[in-house]
Amino acid sequence: MNDTFCSKHFKLEQIGQGIYAAIAKEGGGAVANAGFVDLGDKVIIFDTFNTQQASKDLKLIAEKITNRTVTWVVNSHWHGDHIRGNQTFKDSTIISSQITSSKIRDIHPSRFSQQKNDIQGLENYIQSLKDKLHQTNDTNIQCQINFLSEVKDSLPTLELTLPNQTFHNELIFQGTKRCARLFTLGGGHSYCDAMLYIPEEKVIFMGDLLFVNCHPTFFEESNPVKWSTILKKVKELEIDVAVPGHGPTGTKEDISKIIDYISELTAIAENSYQDEDIKIPEIFRDWRSPEIYQQNIKHLRELTNS
């Protein structure tokens, strides 16, 4: 049934019995990955994308394939590209960790209102990019225009929709066909990162704890040491398919690559000068978003010197 489905926001991929990954397309309204799990009598959505246009497509295909309404929606962490589509699922139970729920409630209202009050500013910026595109024909600029246009289209009707159920360490969903385990080992990428594990199918949705073939983003709140520790614990699970927050679906090997990335960059940051321009190591050179590499080095240097 999903063969005929097409969204400009994401590519749908069946990764197990009743389990689907929604992999974000560049320049669309998704930005991050999401997915859904058919438990037999109930349906779980994992993350809701960056815009309600994208999350509407996700709801549509999830309900079409499973032939039932969405029961639960999980927010893996508080970042906008994982929660801004929540309003599409107002009739479902939206679940996050207690910390994630607090961060969404505390941080996003002012961000939303700021953006909604400056739609004209965004339109002007998009126009300036279009002018630049005429001169350069740069495909990256076209991608940025597409992405920002999706954000602009979402703003007039965007509403902040908070989780209405929270959990602390773990929550088990038992269905008639399979079960799923929602759990957190604390914060690594964000203040608190949750994952969804389907043991029978050996599939895990990891949010932004995993990036595949693209540079992971270290924010001020990120804790690389804890991030690495979390990934090492996750590797102890039986996993055939790991769905990242960004990039294509991966395996345990991709989890190891992020552990190596954190280790390698931490060593570079500790053994280099403040303004030294560090070339990307060969092993990570083909990864998407290379500009993030220098930001990550800078962030790790600040951590080292703090």
User: Residue 210: pLDDT above 60?
Assistant: yes
Predicted pLDDT of residue 1: 44
Predicted pLDDT of residue 2: 45
User: Residue 277: pLDDT above 80?
Assistant: no
pLDDT tens-digit map of 121-140: 999 999 999 999 989 988 89
Average pLDDT, the chain: 95
Higher-confidence position of 134 and 244: 244
User: Residue 188: pLDDT above 50?
Assistant: yes
Predicted pLDDT of residue 4: 65
Query: Rounded to whole angstroms, what are the CA distances from 107 to 78, 102, 103, 197?
Result: 9, 8, 6, 28
Domains and CATH numbers, the chain: 2-105+160-209+240-253 (3.60.15.10)
Predicted pLDDT of residue 272: 79
**Reading across the β-sheet that carries 179-184, which strands appear in turn?**
170-174, 179-184, 194-198, 203-205, 241-243
**By three-state DSSP, how is residue 12 classified?**
strand
User: How far apart are the C-alpha atoms of 151 and 138, rounded to whole Å?
Assistant: 21
pLDDT tens-digit map of 62-120: 999 999 999 999 999 999 999 999 999 999 999 999 999 999 999 999 999 999 999 99
pLDDT band at 306 (very low <50, low <70, confident <90, very high): low
User: Residue 3: pLDDT above 70?
Assistant: no
Query: Rounded to whole angstroms, what are the CA distances from 227 to 87, 164, 187, 189?
Result: 30, 27, 7, 6
User: How far apart are the C-alpha atoms of 128 and 132, rounded to whole Å?
Assistant: 6
Task: Give the pair of three-digit tokens for residue 286.
Answer: 């083909």
User: How far apart are the C-alpha atoms of 89 and 91, rounded to whole Å?
Assistant: 5
Which residue carries 């960056």 as its tokens? 50
Task: Give the pair of three-digit tokens for residue 173.
Answer: 């969903």
What amino acid occupies position 55? S
Element (H, E) at 243: strand 241-243
**By three-state DSSP, how is residue 100 classified?**
helix
User: How far apart are the C-alpha atoms of 250 and 241, rounded to whole Å?
Assistant: 6
